[in-house]
Amino acid sequence: MDRTMPSRRRLLQGAAAGAAAAALGPLTASPARAAGYPVTHWIPASTSNYTVSNRPASYPIDYVVIHVTQETFQDAMRIFQNPSRKVSSHFMVASGDGYIGQFVRQKDIAWHAGNWDYNTRSIGIEHEGWVDDPSWFTDVMYRESAQLTAAVCDAFGIPKDRQHIIGHSQVPGATHTDPGPNWNWTKYMNYVRAAV
């Protein structure tokens, strides 16, 4: 496991370069809503791994669902790009430097929650790491993710509370335990509420 991840950074810059012109457009249906978002990098998931939609017209966006990958950033990225895997997330935040990849447009329905109703009404954010190893949950990852979550909440009118910013384990019927007991919700929510 390469926690400094120089190869990942080069890989992602290469992957994102061809899509640079699209980097702002996919963020939200309305570019004006992009205010407050941290820098994100458009790395599209396979079109076999999400559902095209027109949110929030088609479905209201009521939740942000917080995940931990149980994979490295690179491996999770390859999973999102593999049409046979049938899984995706709107965003993923890297442990080492808080780098944010966007894989699915927010108007579209990423397949991350394991619950169709919650998928239709949420934005999924993956975090690089493992639930049983808190060393992956770096301050820079918390800060960048919190800035992103705050911007999503502002864009879609989602309250910045734990009833609407939830862990994958809180999704009804969830078989996943992420982000797990090592995820510092107090710190995270403080950062979300402090974000401007």
Residues that bind Zn ion (CB under 5 A): 67, 168, 176, 178
- Joined together, the tokens standing for residue 189 give 């929510």
Please state, in angstroms and rounded to a whole number, the distance separating the CA atoms of residues 146 and 18. Answer: 28
Q: Please, what is the minimum distance in Å from the beta carbon of residue 176 to Zn ion?
A: 5
Considering beta carbons, is residue 74 or 170 the nearer one to Zn ion? Answer: 170
Please state, in angstroms and rounded to a whole number, the distance separating the CA atoms of residues 20 and 173. Answer: 38
Q: Please, what is the minimum distance in Å from the beta carbon of residue 22 to Zn ion?
A: 26
Please state, in angstroms and rounded to a whole number, the distance separating the CA atoms of residues 137 and 52. Answer: 31
Considering beta carbons, is residue 92 or 155 the nearer one to Zn ion? Answer: 92
Q: Please, what is the minimum distance in Å from the beta carbon of residue 123 to Zn ion?
A: 13
Considering beta carbons, is residue 144 or 178 the nearer one to Zn ion? Answer: 178
Q: In 3-state terms, what secondary structure has residue 63?
A: strand
Considering beta carbons, is residue 16 or 94 the nearer one to Zn ion? Answer: 94
H/E/C letters for each residue in 71-134?
ECHHHHHHHHHCCCCCCCCCEEECCCCCCEEECCCCCCEECCCCCHHHHHCEEEEEECEECCEH
CB 102 within 8 A of CB 91: yes
Considering beta carbons, is residue 87 or 140 the nearer one to Zn ion? Answer: 87
Q: Please, what is the minimum distance in Å from the beta carbon of residue 33 to Zn ion?
A: 25
Q: Please, what is the minimum distance in Å from the beta carbon of residue 18 to Zn ion?
A: 29
